[in-house]
């Protein structure tokens, strides 16, 4: 299968990391990048499923240059651990696709005390990007692609109760996590411009995968069932993130939100600078991230 070659460039020699890549749109994204010649790093939760996906990719693309890394990305300690493994394996990273995410039916907390949806969908991509800055900075023009959702439009950030201890709804938490992700994308783009690292968010569309079907609440499951005739295939759903990860048309574009392979305007909430900066400060304080120091250390060592 040939993916959108008219939009893409030769990825030979480029290291491409895709999280949540053993199934769904993450898998299709990895297949596309492998077809273009990229060296793939699959970050998955299950080694068994990762090996199965890798074997299918090798058979389909003829590209055996695929590595597997295992981590539960809802746990920040494991995010840091897998980042270290990646740094020990590669000299640079050219593309990071933060694809892994979930809708969680009943409220859950991670072992570190964070609400699961926010931890997996927002904290993990932010932390993994931070940890991989030294390798991204070694690429000629690295790209970070954050897979968000149009669901961000009904997200509602409440920094007085960021982990929904008082009021939880699976779709509300999901929407909020994706809103926070886009807000962080916009803030981060400004931070990383001097390192020639672009950061963009994408909406893959309403995709027909197993995403959300086992973890979502009853209302969400009913909604997914009723709307199934209108959902895209994983191949179609992956197109926008493949495009933003590889197309020459996106060279130098950063801090934007894409859908259907076009730049789109996100929710007006993203434009609320006061709230956006508050979310940025909250997130980095929780994770203990100092972007200015990280960027400065990379700049000095370059």
Closest by CA to 115, choosing from 286, 291, 290, 288, is 286
State the residue for tokens 């759903």: 237
Catalytic residue (one of 3, 114, 130, 174): 174
Torsion angle in degrees (nearest 10) through CA of 178, 57, 243, 100: 10
Contacts 24+ apart (CB under 8 A), 155-161: 155/179, 155/180, 155/267, 155/269, 157/269, 157/275, 157/279, 159/278, 159/279, 159/282
243 catalytic? Reply is no
Report the b/e string of 111-120 with b at 16+ CB within 10 A: eeebbbbbbb
Catalytic residues: 174
């Amino acid at each position: 299968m040939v993916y959108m070659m008219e939009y893409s460039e030769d990825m030979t020699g480029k290291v491409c990391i895709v999280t949540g890549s053993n199934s769904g749109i993450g898998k299709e994204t990895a297949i596309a990048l492998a077809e273009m010649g990229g060296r793939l790093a699959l970050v998955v939760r299950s080694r068994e499923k990762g090996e199965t996906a890798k074997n299918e990719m090798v058979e389909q693309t003829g590209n055996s240059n695929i590595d597997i890394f295992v981590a539960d990305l809802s746990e920040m300690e494991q995010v840091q651990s897998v980042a270290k493994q990646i740094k020990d394996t590669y000299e640079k990273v050219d593309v990071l696709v933060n694809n892994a995410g979930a809708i969680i039916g009943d409220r859950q907390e991670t072992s570190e005390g964070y609400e699961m949806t926010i931890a997996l969908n927002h904290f993990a991509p932010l932390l993994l990007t931070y940890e991989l800055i030294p390798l991204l900075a070694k690429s000629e023009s690295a790209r970070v692609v954050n897979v968000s959702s149009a669901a961000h439009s009904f997200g509602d950030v409440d920094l007085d109760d960021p982990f929904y201890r008082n009021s939880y709804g699976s779709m509300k938490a999901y929407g909020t996590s994706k809103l926070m992700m886009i807000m962080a994308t916009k803030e981060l783009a400004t931070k990383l411009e001097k390192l020639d690292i672009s950061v963009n968010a994408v909406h893959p569309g309403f995709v027909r995968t197993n995403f959300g079907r086992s973890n979502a609440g009853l209302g969400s499951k009913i909604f997914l069932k009723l709307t199934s005739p209108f959902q895209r295939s994983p191949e179609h759903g992956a197109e926008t993130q493949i495009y933003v990860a590889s197309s020459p048309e996106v060279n130098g574009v950063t801090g934007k939100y894409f859908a259907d392979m076009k730049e789109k305007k996100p929710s007006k909430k993203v434009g609320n600078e006061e709230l956006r900066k508050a979310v940025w400060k909250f997130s980095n304080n929780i994770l203990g991230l100092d972007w200015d120091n990280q960027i400065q250390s990379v700049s000095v060592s370059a």
